[in-house]
Amino acid sequence: MSARTEAEADGLDLTPTAPAPDRPGRLVRVAVAAGEVLASAGAALLSVQLSSSVDIDPLNRVGQVSGLAALDLRFVLLGLAVLAACVTTARFPRVFAVVSRLACAAVAGLATGLVAGGVVLALHGTSWGLFANWGDAGQLIRWADDIVAGRGVPPDYPPVALHMIALWSEITGDSTAGGLRASQVVGTALFGPLAYLSWRLVLPAPWALAVALVAAMPLLEPYKPYTTVVLVALVPLLIAFLRVLHRAATTGWTRIVVTGAVAGLALGALFCVYSGWFLWSAPGALAAVLVRFPWRAPLRGLALLGPAAAGLVAVAWPHLFGLLAAAGTVQDRYFYFDTNVEPAYIAMWRNDLPGNVGPWPPPGELAGVGVFTALLVVGLGVAVAVAGRRTAVIAVGALLAGAWVLRLAIASQMYATQTVQLYPRTTAEILFCLLLMAVFAARYGGKRLHDAWRARTAAGNGGVPRNATPVIGAICAALLLGLSMGSATADRYLPRHDKSVGLLAYVAQHVRQPDGTCPRFSGPNGCAPDPGALLRGEWRPGGDPGSPGGG
């Protein structure tokens, strides 16, 4: 399939040789694209703002349920308003084409805005962010303090999050702890918009929304949301870049160089936000580049790759060189629950805080494999069967294979080296790629069936008229899925003392705040002198025995 045909099939105008569009038409497209950005980010931030009016005791389970219901109600009302806009404009195709795109963008924002509202609920009454000043949160706060004081920070850690926390503190006068809290809430809220807008580079609006919900939402981590959002955005950027590379033989030199430089700058920016996914993606990305390289016009291909590499280095060189300098000297010896799991289990990503989930991994019905994994296998097979020559499937398939190779190669050396080297994090990339394949299977497999049906019925009725019903149905389904996933994810982060991710907010609710006061709901015994005393059981909170952690 040619790059032009592939782009047209995805509803995108990426043809470099097409005549320049008229100025009004271009302005309309730019305006609609800007509208998608505003609708998505606006819906997410509005959800966060509305959640701040919920006043409950976040340490009481009844209060938690009531608070979640209030957040869910806000989501439903906003979702119904979005749906009403679609139904109202359904009879006007030109208007509906715009409104439906804005609706898809808004639903992506509402879904992660609901989760961010849950984080606000979990931290109600305390000025701390998740996990207070303990663990990774404490280290981020200390490094941000160093930046504010004019001291250096380790160059091998991605710098963007640290500088954003420090910048927030300097602009608002808040502490760096407050900056971390803001980054957790805002980063969680904007995860959906960033996922949706990134995938709009390569997919039409409804399918970009499907990816944002089905594939991206399971990776959302409010504790450090800047990490996994890089993976979600990196894959569509790579797909878009590979499409340009594949058609480089018919592209003008100026466009090749400019496109390569822009792609490199974007990759460099993502690298500075979180560079780990570049390591796990490197083998697959290299393989995909070799497959899509224009071997009949190698100079044009190199003219694209060269500026891309230069752009990446120009943006990321301090962090990149810091990583290279640290290579071979940093050893990860953190053996936790996931390092004791059989290495082929990838069906659920829970980072290093599994919680009370029973047997891990959960027992599977099909020779140890669960139904969910079996569905992922079917999605992979269908995607390759119906769209194996498409750049998106080639790219994601290569990333999937490369991550598996690195995962198993590093895990196989654990006993000999007594190191982990973060290999369990490949679970997130492998799961994400398999979920993408399932979306691609639905996208391209459904298109084949639809085209075949149209071909059979066109002769009898003069063609099948297009209507708004399928898009409205998809938005209805997305709203219900977003409500269910958002509420469940938010619930996981509410304060609990059960070794789950709820512990992050539980600590924030019981540790003395930066201003020296105790959080509002810390209980009659006051607050713990430090997180360590709380976690080691040297200090116990008072409170309602029926509440999580009360006693």
366 three-class SS: strand
Beta bridge partners of 255: none
The pLDDT value given to residue 13? 41
401: number of Cβ within 10 Å: 16
Which element (helix H / strand E) includes 193? helix 176-199
Q: What is the pLDDT of residues 498-528, one digit of tens each?
A: 778 899 999 999 999 998 899 999 877 788 8
Share the mean pLDDT of the chain: 88
User: What digits encode the pLDDT tens for the residues 108-159?
Assistant: 999 999 999 999 999 999 999 999 999 899 999 999 999 999 999 999 999 9
- Residues near 320 by beta carbon (within 8 Å), at least 6 away in sequence: 271, 275, 312, 313
- 293-315 pLDDT per residue, tens: 999 999 999 999 999 999 999 99
User: Residue 498's pLDDT is what?
Assistant: 78
Q: Give me the pLDDT at residue 339, please.
A: 85
pLDDT of 174 strictly over 60 = yes
Looking from the CA of 248 toward its CB, the CA atoms found within 13 Å total 28
Q: What is the mean pLDDT of residues 207-220?
A: 95
CB atoms < 10 A from the CB of 386, how many? Answer: 19
- Answer yes or no: is pLDDT of 457 > 70: no
**pLDDT value at 10 more than 60:** no
Question: What are the φ/ψ torsions at residue 221 (nearest 5 degrees)?
Answer: -125, 95
Backbone angles phi, psi at 11, to 5 degrees: 75, 20
Is the pLDDT score of 9 beyond 60? no
- Percentage of the chain beyond pLDDT 70 is 88
Mean pLDDT for the stretch of residues 69-87: 97
Q: Above 50 in pLDDT, residue 548? A: no
- Residue range 412-434: mean pLDDT, rounded: 92
* Higher pLDDT pick, 535 / 432: 432
Q: What is the mean pLDDT of residues 440-468?
A: 71
SS (H, E, C) 278-345: HHHHHHHHHHHHHHHCCCCCHHHHHHHHHHHHHHHHHHHHHHHHHHHHHCCCCCCCCCCHHHHCCCCC
* Residue 528 β-bridge partners: 511
Q: Write the DSSP symbol of residue 511.
A: B
Q: Is the pTM of this model over 0.85?
A: yes
Asked whether the CA dihedral 203, 206, 207, 212 is positive or negative, the reply is positive
Above 50 in pLDDT, residue 347?
A: yes
pLDDT at 547: 43
> Which of 361, 249, 357 lies closest to 304 in space, CA to CA?
249
pLDDT over threshold 70, residue 23: no
* 453 pLDDT higher than 50: yes
Gap between the Cα atoms of 434 and 453, Å rounded? 28
Residue 191 confidence (pLDDT) above 70: yes
CB 429 within 8 A of CB 228: no
pLDDT at 222: 96
Cα dist from 202 to 101, 154, 331, 400, 440, whole Å: 14, 36, 38, 19, 12
- pLDDT over 90 (residue 346): no
